[in-house]
Amino acid sequence: VPTISATNLSTNLLGGTITVGKAVYDPSRLTHEVTLQVQGLDLGEILRLEQQETVKGTGTLDGVLPLIISGSEVEVHHGSLHARPTGGTLQMDLSEATAQSWTKSQPNLDLIVQSLQNFQYSKLEVGVDYEKTGILRLATRLEGKNPNYRKGVPIHFNLNIEENIPALMKSLSLIQDL
Protein backbone atom coordinates (compact mmCIF):
# COMPACT_ATOMS: atom_id res chain seq x y z
CA VAL A 1 0.00 0.00 0.00
CA PRO A 2 1.57 3.33 -1.03
CA THR A 3 2.12 6.26 1.32
CA ILE A 4 0.32 9.51 0.59
CA SER A 5 2.14 12.85 0.85
CA ALA A 6 0.63 16.30 0.89
CA THR A 7 2.26 19.72 1.10
CA ASN A 8 0.72 23.08 2.02
CA LEU A 9 -2.90 22.05 2.48
CA SER A 10 -4.88 24.91 3.97
CA THR A 11 -8.40 25.92 4.90
CA ASN A 12 -10.07 29.05 6.19
CA LEU A 13 -11.48 28.81 9.69
CA LEU A 14 -12.73 31.36 12.24
CA GLY A 15 -11.46 34.28 10.20
CA GLY A 16 -7.99 32.81 9.77
CA THR A 17 -6.10 30.06 8.00
CA ILE A 18 -5.08 26.58 9.15
CA THR A 19 -2.21 25.07 7.12
CA VAL A 20 -0.54 21.67 7.10
CA GLY A 21 2.99 22.30 5.85
CA LYS A 22 3.86 18.71 5.06
CA ALA A 23 1.97 15.52 5.86
CA VAL A 24 2.74 11.89 5.12
CA TYR A 25 0.11 9.17 5.52
CA ASP A 26 1.54 5.68 5.74
CA PRO A 27 -1.27 3.10 6.05
CA SER A 28 1.13 0.63 7.68
CA ARG A 29 1.56 2.96 10.70
CA LEU A 30 -1.00 3.10 13.51
CA THR A 31 -0.17 6.67 14.52
CA HIS A 32 0.45 9.79 12.45
CA GLU A 33 1.79 13.16 13.53
CA VAL A 34 0.72 16.32 11.74
CA THR A 35 1.44 19.91 12.72
CA LEU A 36 -1.16 22.57 11.98
CA GLN A 37 0.08 26.13 11.50
CA VAL A 38 -2.57 28.59 12.68
CA GLN A 39 -2.61 32.14 11.35
CA GLY A 40 -5.04 34.96 11.85
CA LEU A 41 -7.80 33.35 13.93
CA ASP A 42 -10.35 35.94 15.02
CA LEU A 43 -10.78 35.84 18.82
CA GLY A 44 -14.30 37.27 18.48
CA GLU A 45 -15.36 34.38 16.26
CA ILE A 46 -13.81 31.85 18.66
CA LEU A 47 -15.71 33.33 21.61
CA ARG A 48 -18.98 33.28 19.61
CA LEU A 49 -18.69 29.47 19.47
CA GLU A 50 -19.50 29.38 23.19
CA GLN A 51 -22.77 31.21 22.44
CA GLN A 52 -22.34 33.37 25.52
CA GLU A 53 -23.55 36.90 24.83
CA THR A 54 -21.78 38.10 27.96
CA VAL A 55 -18.22 37.53 26.66
CA LYS A 56 -16.82 39.35 23.64
CA GLY A 57 -13.33 39.96 22.40
CA THR A 58 -11.08 41.23 19.67
CA GLY A 59 -7.65 40.19 18.57
CA THR A 60 -5.84 37.93 16.13
CA LEU A 61 -4.25 34.62 17.11
CA ASP A 62 -1.41 32.64 15.54
CA GLY A 63 0.19 29.41 16.68
CA VAL A 64 0.97 25.74 16.26
CA LEU A 65 -1.17 22.67 16.99
CA PRO A 66 0.73 19.37 16.83
CA LEU A 67 -1.80 16.58 16.18
CA ILE A 68 -1.37 12.91 16.93
CA ILE A 69 -3.86 10.83 14.96
CA SER A 70 -4.51 7.20 15.91
CA GLY A 71 -7.32 5.72 13.82
CA SER A 72 -10.32 7.99 14.42
CA GLU A 73 -8.86 9.50 17.61
CA VAL A 74 -7.09 12.85 17.63
CA GLU A 75 -4.91 14.39 20.33
CA VAL A 76 -3.07 17.69 20.64
CA HIS A 77 0.04 17.79 22.83
CA HIS A 78 1.65 21.09 23.79
CA GLY A 79 -0.09 23.24 21.20
CA SER A 80 0.15 26.98 21.54
CA LEU A 81 -1.73 30.05 20.37
CA HIS A 82 -0.76 33.65 20.99
CA ALA A 83 -2.18 37.04 20.16
CA ARG A 84 -0.38 39.25 17.73
CA PRO A 85 1.59 42.07 19.37
CA THR A 86 -1.16 44.63 18.83
CA GLY A 87 -3.20 42.77 21.49
CA GLY A 88 -6.94 43.25 21.75
CA THR A 89 -9.84 43.42 24.14
CA LEU A 90 -11.92 41.11 26.29
CA GLN A 91 -15.25 42.33 27.58
CA MET A 92 -17.52 40.51 29.98
CA ASP A 93 -20.92 42.16 30.20
CA LEU A 94 -22.67 40.85 33.31
CA SER A 95 -25.88 42.16 34.77
CA GLU A 96 -25.44 43.96 38.07
CA ALA A 97 -27.37 41.19 39.86
CA THR A 98 -25.11 38.46 38.42
CA ALA A 99 -21.93 40.39 39.26
CA GLN A 100 -23.11 40.96 42.84
CA SER A 101 -24.08 37.31 43.20
CA TRP A 102 -20.64 36.16 42.01
CA THR A 103 -18.71 38.54 44.24
CA LYS A 104 -20.93 37.79 47.25
CA SER A 105 -20.27 34.06 46.99
CA GLN A 106 -16.59 34.52 45.99
CA PRO A 107 -15.18 37.91 47.09
CA ASN A 108 -12.00 37.29 45.08
CA LEU A 109 -14.07 37.36 41.87
CA ASP A 110 -14.55 41.11 42.19
CA LEU A 111 -11.14 41.75 40.60
CA ILE A 112 -12.03 39.50 37.67
CA VAL A 113 -15.54 40.90 37.21
CA GLN A 114 -14.39 44.53 37.40
CA SER A 115 -11.27 44.21 35.26
CA LEU A 116 -12.89 42.13 32.51
CA GLN A 117 -15.60 44.69 31.83
CA ASN A 118 -13.13 46.41 29.51
CA PHE A 119 -9.87 44.43 29.59
CA GLN A 120 -7.28 45.60 27.07
CA TYR A 121 -4.65 42.92 26.77
CA SER A 122 -1.15 43.29 25.43
CA LYS A 123 -0.35 39.59 25.82
CA LEU A 124 -2.55 36.55 25.39
CA GLU A 125 -0.94 33.10 25.31
CA VAL A 126 -2.80 29.81 25.30
CA GLY A 127 -1.36 26.35 25.84
CA VAL A 128 -3.55 23.75 24.12
CA ASP A 129 -3.91 20.07 25.00
CA TYR A 130 -6.69 17.81 23.72
CA GLU A 131 -7.13 14.24 24.89
CA LYS A 132 -8.70 11.46 22.88
CA THR A 133 -11.41 11.37 25.56
CA GLY A 134 -12.63 14.72 24.22
CA ILE A 135 -11.30 16.91 27.03
CA LEU A 136 -9.78 20.19 25.84
CA ARG A 137 -7.49 21.99 28.29
CA LEU A 138 -6.48 25.58 27.72
CA ALA A 139 -3.81 27.16 29.93
CA THR A 140 -4.31 30.86 29.31
CA ARG A 141 -2.08 33.76 30.29
CA LEU A 142 -3.39 37.31 29.94
CA GLU A 143 -1.55 40.55 30.60
CA GLY A 144 -3.17 43.92 30.26
CA LYS A 145 -5.34 46.45 32.03
CA ASN A 146 -8.77 48.00 32.28
CA PRO A 147 -8.26 51.76 32.01
CA ASN A 148 -11.53 52.25 33.93
CA TYR A 149 -10.54 50.05 36.88
CA ARG A 150 -8.00 51.03 39.55
CA LYS A 151 -6.54 53.73 37.29
CA GLY A 152 -5.43 51.17 34.69
CA VAL A 153 -3.02 49.29 36.92
CA PRO A 154 -1.48 46.30 35.05
CA ILE A 155 -3.28 43.01 35.70
CA HIS A 156 -2.03 39.50 34.90
CA PHE A 157 -4.36 36.49 34.77
CA ASN A 158 -3.56 32.80 34.57
CA LEU A 159 -6.73 30.90 33.64
CA ASN A 160 -7.08 27.16 33.19
CA ILE A 161 -10.11 26.20 31.13
CA GLU A 162 -11.35 22.66 30.63
CA GLU A 163 -14.09 21.80 28.14
CA ASN A 164 -15.66 18.51 27.09
CA ILE A 165 -15.78 19.06 23.32
CA PRO A 166 -18.12 16.14 22.41
CA ALA A 167 -20.62 17.37 25.03
CA LEU A 168 -20.26 20.95 23.73
CA MET A 169 -20.87 19.84 20.14
CA LYS A 170 -23.93 17.86 21.25
CA SER A 171 -25.37 20.84 23.14
CA LEU A 172 -24.72 23.14 20.17
CA SER A 173 -26.56 20.75 17.84
CA LEU A 174 -29.48 20.49 20.30
CA ILE A 175 -29.71 24.28 20.49
CA GLN A 176 -29.62 24.51 16.71
CA ASP A 177 -32.42 21.92 16.43
CA LEU A 178 -34.63 24.01 18.74
Which candidate, 69, 50, 80, 71, places its Cα nearest to that of 167?
50
- The model's confidence at residue 4, banded by pLDDT at 50, 70 and 90, is low
The mean pLDDT of the chain is 84
Compute the CA torsion angle 64, 69, 72, 75 (nearest 10 deg): -50
Does the structure show a pLDDT above 70 at 110?
A: yes
**Side chain identity at 178, as an amino acid letter?**
L
Q: pLDDT band for position 52 (50/70/90)?
A: low
pLDDT band at 174 (very low <50, low <70, confident <90, very high): low
Instruction: State which amino acid sits at residue 11.
Output: T
Residue-level pLDDT at 65? 94
What's the CA gap between 23 and 93, in Å, rounded? 43
pTM exceeding the 0.75 threshold for the entire prediction? yes
